[in-house]
Amino acid sequence: MNDVKVYAHRGYSSVAPENTMAAFRRAAEAGADGLELDVHLTKDGHVVVIHDYTLQRTTDGTGRVKDFTLEEIRRLDAGSWFGEEFRCERVPLLEEVLGLAADRDLYLNIELKNNQYPEPGLENRVLELTERYGWTGKTVISSFNHHSLRKVKREKPDLDTAILYMSHLFEPWEYVQRAGLSSIHPYWPTVTKEMAESCRERGLPLRPFTVNRAGEMRRLVSIGVEAIITDKVETLLEVLRDDR
């Protein structure tokens, strides 16, 4: 029997607007083990859950997230672009998602979105909040900014920290260990059986993203990844049920 964990990418983002409480609740209701989400800092230092550096793709606002206060961002509609039933969904605070995770006993994968623009203080604010909610033991911090992950690891050595990357890295398991980090979150086409075996031998969790096709899910399950990050929660759950 496999025990691959199901992480809902930006919540259950194929059935509800990404990175909203609606998407996170639907992921929990569908049976996901964990939630993947993205965080930025507002102008006044609050941690909000939104993928892009700018507002226009997923809200009715325009401009960069970091240039607005929380009050300004919370006035925006983050749901109508996906469907009329989601009108007036708001950009969540990280605290809201942590509260849901605690209520539903969900794992969290918090991605720090500070690769394109620096967001000083983002790491410490995220650590402060996860500790306040007592959720560090079920949280992994990931980022394409590996310097940021090193900072997190220095502040909280026991916290799971995962490199994100898109390209075919040479022996990424060696890179992660040299960097003093703890997990690997690769773009799914780069994942091989050799990678899965090498990660498993070293005790490095391997969690590919964003896997939406059943055939690819089956391949990754068969080679023994620790978790799969997907938009298609129910498809992955069905694959896992069939595999058992």
- What pLDDT digit, counting tens, does each position of 187-224 carry? 999 999 999 999 999 999 999 999 999 999 999 999 99
Domain containing 221 equals 5-15+27-37+99-243
Mean pLDDT of 107-116: 97
Please give the share of the chain, as a percent, with pLDDT higher than 70. 99
Predicted local confidence at residue 145, as pLDDT: 98
Predicted local confidence at residue 244, as pLDDT: 74
- Residue 64 and residue 53 in contact, taking contact as beta carbons nearer than 8 Å: yes
Predicted local confidence at residue 5, as pLDDT: 98
Is position 179 within any domain? yes
Is position 52 within any domain? no
Is position 225 within any domain? yes
Q: Say whether pLDDT at 125 is over 90.
A: yes
Catalytic (active-site) positions: 9, 51
Domain count, the chain: 1
Is position 237 within any domain? yes
Is position 234 within any domain? yes
- Residue 183 and residue 139 in contact, taking contact as beta carbons nearer than 8 Å: no
Predicted local confidence at residue 121, as pLDDT: 97
**Helix 122-132 to helix 146-155 angle, to the nearest 10 degrees?**
40
Is position 58 within any domain? no
**Helix 21-30 to helix 233-243 angle, to the nearest 10 degrees?**
20
191: which strand partners?
Answer: none
Using DSSP's 3-state secondary structure scheme, residue 156 falls into coil
Tell how strand 34-41 and strand 47-49 pair up: antiparallel
CATH number of the structural domain spanning residue 134: 3.20.20.190
Q: What is the pTM assigned to this prediction?
A: 0.97
Task: Work out the pLDDT band at 1, boundaries 50, 70, 90.
Answer: very low
Is position 232 within any domain? yes
